[in-house]
């Protein structure tokens, strides 16, 4: 049984607006990757130091997913979006004024914190409006993150080349304010109590099948999220720098990043459809195994064509992993805690991205190449696979409840 609030015409309209907001709000976490070679050259720092602004961006992004997720549970997504849009623009302004790698890193901390509203909190909000099609709805909302990373680097390429990264940041600040704030007011409608009650009934039945309290399951998913995202960060964070080292230039690296993220969008949509049939755990496990295979394929690939192909394969493999965590949370945890629980697990995945981004740069500085960095990612990916296999084996004897 379902309610008229779930999977309704309004639900799908709200999903479309959510996607538009996410495509603008999420750009802060990708812009820093594209400007990393320019930052490294301007400030004359090592590769690990040049990775620190990205790492601080992801730290802010991680903390924001949890803190802002809790705020959405209390005040609703509309008001929170307005505040965060102002914070993002302020972060871009501080980054433009920075004169050192430390100043840029601190500014990116604010950018990352505000940008997080476009990921976990929006995913948690839209999950309340779907029950039968929650998997594909979450996947579409999460795709805004990858679409942002695929589209904006290309749109900003000419500005970066002719006017520099500070001008590009000025453009992003203005676009964030004029797009996110008006759209935020279209999401003021609240979820009816009957819809919350229906979701609670489904999640309570599923929780009984796994036999773990919500807090323990959240910590387990958080550990799994760190593992998969340390692995995921290696190509995503360092593909531009990797291409520069190989002599192909930053523009080629940006194209590979865009190709990777577009493949991730397709992967997220397919994973969302699978999650509606298989559930979140099986879908996540499938994506994690495929991501591990793609990382192995990077090891022998340094030719231009092979790098393009493997980057696409990587995107098609891993895109559905992170949204699957949100689906698992909504399947097994109370609806009234959706913002905080989804935010916590998203925080863990993003901390994995931050750790992996820095760790890969450090391994590069120590070894002089990215080969061992890829092997490091593969090892962390194995941890994620092991946890998902254990969780699947634990829940297999019982069938999770599904909405009729």
Nearest to 68 by CA among 110, 128, 32, 97: 110
Q: For the domain that residue 282 is a member of, what is the CATH number?
A: 1.20.1250.20
Whether 36 is covered by a domain: the verdict is: yes
Only one residue has tokens 């538009």, namely 20
Backbone dihedral region of 116: left (phi > 0), alpha (psi from -120 to 50 degrees) or beta?
alpha
Residue range 4-12: average pLDDT? 82
Whether 402 is covered by a domain: the verdict is: no
pLDDT tens for 292-335 read 998 998 888 778 888 888 888 888 888 888 888 888 888 877 76
Q: Which residues contact 390 (CB under 8 A, 6 or more apart)?
A: none
Paired tokens of 135: 């998997």
Whether 108 is covered by a domain: the verdict is: yes
Nearest to 240 by CA among 52, 43, 31, 62: 31
Q: Which residues contact 375 (CB under 8 A, 6 or more apart)?
A: 299
Pick from 105-109, 179-183, 355-359: least confident: 355-359
Whether 168 is covered by a domain: the verdict is: yes
Pick from 79-83, 113-117, 189-193, 267-271: least confident: 189-193
Whether 92 is covered by a domain: the verdict is: yes
pLDDT tens for 101-125 read 889 999 999 999 999 999 888 988 8
Q: Is residue 404 pLDDT above 50, yes or no?
A: no
pTM, two decimals, is 0.76
Whether 1 is covered by a domain: the verdict is: no
Strand, helix or coil for residue 186: helix
**DSSP notation for 284-331:** HHHHHHHHHHHHHHHTT--SHHHHHHHHHHHHHHHTTHHHHHHHHHHH
Most confident residue range from 2-11, 72-81, 90-99, 297-306: 90-99
Whether 2 is covered by a domain: the verdict is: no
Whether 403 is covered by a domain: the verdict is: no
**Residue-number span of the structural domain to which 291 is assigned:** 9-394
Paired tokens of 347: 């925080």
Strand, helix or coil for residue 231: helix
Mean pLDDT estimate for the chain: 83
Structural domain count of the chain = 1
pLDDT tens for 218-235 read 889 999 999 989 988 888
Residue 125 has a CB neighbour count (10 Å cut-off) of: 26
pLDDT tens for 136-159 read 898 899 888 878 887 888 888 788
User: How many Å apart are CA 282 and CA 271, to the nearest integer?
Assistant: 10
Paired tokens of 337: 């805690």
């Amino acid at each position: 049984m379902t309610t008229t609030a779930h999977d309704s015409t309004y639900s799908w309209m709200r999903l479309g607006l959510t996607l538009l907001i996410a495509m603008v709000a999420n750009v802060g976490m990708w812009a820093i990757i594209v400007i990393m070679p320019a930052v490294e050259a301007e400030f004359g720092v090592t590769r690990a130091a040049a990775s620190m602004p990205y790492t601080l961006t992801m730290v802010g992004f991680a903390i924001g997913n949890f803190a802002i997720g809790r705020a959405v549970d209390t005040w609703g997504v509309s008001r929170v979006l307005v505040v965060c849009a102002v914070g993002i623009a302020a972060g871009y302004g501080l980054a433009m004024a920075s004169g050192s790698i430390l100043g840029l890193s601190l500014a990116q901390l604010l950018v990352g914190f505000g940008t997080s509203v476009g990921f976990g909190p929006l995913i948690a909000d839209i999950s309340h409006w779907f029950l039968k099609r929650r998997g594909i709805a979450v996947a579409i909302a999460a795709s805004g993150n990858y679409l942002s990373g695929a589209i904006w680097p290309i749109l900003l390429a000419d500005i970066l080349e002719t006017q520099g990264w500070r001008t590009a940041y000025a453009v992003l600040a203005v676009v964030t304010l004029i797009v996110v704030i008006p759209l935020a007011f279209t999401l003021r409608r609240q979820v009816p109590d009957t819809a919350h009650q229906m979701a609670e009934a489904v999640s309570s039945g599923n929780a009984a099948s796994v036999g773990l309290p919500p807090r323990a399951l959240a910590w387990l998913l958080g550990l799994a999220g760190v593992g998969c995202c340390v692995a995921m960060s290696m190509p995503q964070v360092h593909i531009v720098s990797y291409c520069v080292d190989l002599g192909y230039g930053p523009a080629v690296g940006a194209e590979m990043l865009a190709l990777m993220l577009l493949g991730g969008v397709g992967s997220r949509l397919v994973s969302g459809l699978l999650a509606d049939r298989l559930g979140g755990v099986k879908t996540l496990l499938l994506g994690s195994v495929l991501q591990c295979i793609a990382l192995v394929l990077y090891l022998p690939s340094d030719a231009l064509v092979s790098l393009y192909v493997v980057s696409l394969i990587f995107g098609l493999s891993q895109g559905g992993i992170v949204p699957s965590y949100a689906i698992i949370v909504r399947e097994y945890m109370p609806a009234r805690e959706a913002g905080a629980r989804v935010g916590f697990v998203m925080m863990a995945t993003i901390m994995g991205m931050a750790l992996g981004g820095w760790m890969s740069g450090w391994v590069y500085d120590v070894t002089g190449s990215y080969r061992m960095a890829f092997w490091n990612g593969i090892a962390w990916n194995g941890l994620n696979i092991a946890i998902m296999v254990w969780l699947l084996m634990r829940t297999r004897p019982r069938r999770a409840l599904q909405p009729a």
